[in-house]
Structure 1
Amino acid sequence: MTFTTEFLTFLAFTAVIMVHHCKSALPPPTGLSYEWVDAFTVNVSWKKPSGLQDKDVWYKYGREHPDSYVCMKSRNFTATLLTEETGSANWTYYVWTVEDCESPNESTKESKIIQTPKPRAEVKDIKCLITRTRELNCSWIPGNQPLKLSYRICGRTEELIKPLRECVRPYVGAGRNGCYLIADGVKNDTCVLSETDAGLSTFRIAPMIDPPELSVREEGDGLKLSWMHPKFGKGCSWTYTVCFKKCIHSEKCLDFTTEPVVMPYDKSCRYEFRSSVKTDNYCKTIFSERGKVVSYGTNEPTDETLTVVAIVLPVILSVCIFLSCYCFRRHRSIICPVIPDPSAIFKEMMMNGNKELKTTTGSLYTPVPEPIESCKVDLVADNIVVPLNS
Structure 2
Amino acid sequence: MIYTWEIFAFLSCTAMIKVLHCNADHLLPPTHLSYKWLDAFTVNVSWSWKSPPNLPEGCEIKYVTEKQQSRGVQSRHLGRTPSRFITDNCLTEEMSSDSCTYTISTTGHKLCQNWTHSTPVNITVYSKKPQVKLVEDFRCLPDSDRIHCSWIPVNQSLVLKLTYRMCGIGEEVRNGTKHCQNLHSRGNGCFIDTDGSDICILLDSEIGQSTFRAFIGEPSPKLEIKKAKHCLNLTWTPPEMGRNCWIYQFNYTKCGKPQPQQTAQTNFVSIPYDENCLYQFQSRVLTTKDCLPRQSDWSDVVNFGADVPPDGTPTVIAIVIPIILSACVLLSCYFFRKHRKIFCPTIPDPSAIFKGIMNGNKDHKPIVPGLYAPVDELVHTCNVDIPPENKENLQEF
**TM-score, length-normalised on structure 1?**
0.69
> Aligned partners of 1:120, 1:220: CA distance in 2, in Å?
59
Consecutive unaligned residues of structure 1, counting only runs of 5 or more, are 318-390
> Aligned partners of 1:125, 1:268: CA distance in 2, in Å?
40
Change (3 A) 1:48 1:309: farther
> Aligned partners of 2:320, 2:125: CA distance in 1, in Å?
73
| Aligned twin of 2:212 | 203
Contact persistence 2:252–2:261 (CA under 8 A)? yes
> Aligned partners of 2:313, 2:138: CA distance in 1, in Å?
49
Q: Share of identical aligned residues, percent? A: 35
| Aligned twin of 1:124 | 136
Q: Shift of residue 51 of structure 1?
A: 4.8
Q: What residue identity is the alignment partner of 2:166?
A: I
Q: What residue identity is the alignment partner of 1:9?
A: A
RMSD (Å) for aligned C-alpha atoms: 3.4
> Aligned partners of 2:220, 2:76: CA distance in 1, in Å?
42
Query: What SS does structure 1 have at the residue aligned with 2:9?
Result: helix
Contact persistence 2:237–2:267 (CA under 8 A)? no
Q: Shift of residue 203 of structure 1?
A: 1.9
Contact persistence 2:92–2:100 (CA under 8 A)? no
Contact persistence 1:66–1:94 (CA under 8 A)? no
> Aligned partners of 1:20, 1:195: CA distance in 2, in Å?
55
Q: What residue identity is the alignment partner of 2:201?
A: V
Contact persistence 1:270–1:299 (CA under 8 A)? yes
Q: Shift of residue 222 of structure 1?
A: 3.2
Q: What residue identity is the alignment partner of 1:155?
A: G
Check if 1:35 corresponds to 2:46. Answer: no
Q: Shift of residue 139 of structure 1?
A: 0.5
> Aligned partners of 1:29, 1:71: CA distance in 2, in Å?
14
> Aligned partners of 1:166, 1:310: CA distance in 2, in Å?
76
| Aligned twin of 2:223 | 214
- Cα deviation per residue 1:291-331 (whole Å; 9 max; x = unaligned)? 1111122223347x9999999999xx9xxxxxxxxxxxxxx
| Aligned twin of 1:63 | 67
| Aligned twin of 2:188 | 177
> Aligned partners of 2:260, 2:98: CA distance in 1, in Å?
39
Change (3 A) 1:265 1:45: same
> Aligned partners of 2:36, 2:58: CA distance in 1, in Å?
25
> Aligned partners of 2:30, 2:250: CA distance in 1, in Å?
56
| Aligned twin of 1:24 | 24
Change (3 A) 1:58 1:239: closer
Q: Shift of residue 213 of structure 1?
A: 1.7
| Aligned twin of 1:280 | 288
Contact persistence 2:238–2:267 (CA under 8 A)? no
Check if 1:231 corresponds to 2:232. Answer: no
Q: What residue identity is the alignment partner of 1:148?
A: K
| Aligned twin of 1:150 | 163
Change (3 A) 1:308 1:189: farther
> Aligned partners of 2:220, 2:39: CA distance in 1, in Å?
35
- Cα deviation per residue 1:258-290 (whole Å; 9 max; x = unaligned)? 344443222222221222112222222232111
Q: Shift of residue 83 of structure 1?
A: 2.8
Q: Shift of residue 200 of structure 1?
A: 2.2
Q: Shift of residue 10 of structure 1?
A: 4.9
Q: Shift of residue 30 of structure 1?
A: 0.9
Consecutive unaligned residues of structure 2, counting only runs of 5 or more, are 69-73, 324-397
Q: What residue identity is the alignment partner of 2:63?
A: Y
Check if 1:78 corresponds to 2:96. Answer: no
Contact persistence 1:43–1:76 (CA under 8 A)? yes
> Aligned partners of 2:181, 2:320: CA distance in 1, in Å?
67
> Aligned partners of 2:107, 2:131: CA distance in 1, in Å?
35
Contact persistence 1:59–1:98 (CA under 8 A)? yes
Contact persistence 1:23–1:105 (CA under 8 A)? no
Q: What residue identity is the alignment partner of 2:190?
A: C
Query: What SS does structure 2 have at the residue aligned with 1:117?
Result: coil
Contact persistence 1:128–1:205 (CA under 8 A)? yes
| Aligned twin of 1:13 | 13
Q: What residue identity is the alignment partner of 1:216?
A: I
Pairs aligned (count): 310
Q: What residue identity is the alignment partner of 2:257?
A: H
Q: Shift of residue 137 of structure 1?
A: 0.5
Q: What residue identity is the alignment partner of 1:110?
A: V
Change (3 A) 1:302 1:149: farther
**TM-score, length-normalised on structure 2?**
0.68
> Aligned partners of 2:11, 2:234: CA distance in 1, in Å?
85
Q: 1:160 aligns with which of 156, 169, 173?
A: 173
Query: What SS does structure 2 have at the residue aligned with 1:160?
Result: helix
Q: Shift of residue 67 of structure 1?
A: 9.4
Query: What SS does structure 2 have at the residue aligned with 1:17?
Result: helix
Query: What SS does structure 2 have at the residue aligned with 1:194?
Result: strand
| Aligned twin of 1:387 | none
Query: What SS does structure 1 have at the residue aligned with 2:100?
Result: strand
Change (3 A) 1:14 1:203: same
Check if 1:255 corresponds to 2:266. Answer: no
Q: Shift of residue 188 of structure 1?
A: 4.3
Q: Shift of residue 166 of structure 1?
A: 0.9
Contact persistence 1:247–1:271 (CA under 8 A)? yes
Check if 1:269 corresponds to 2:282. Answer: no
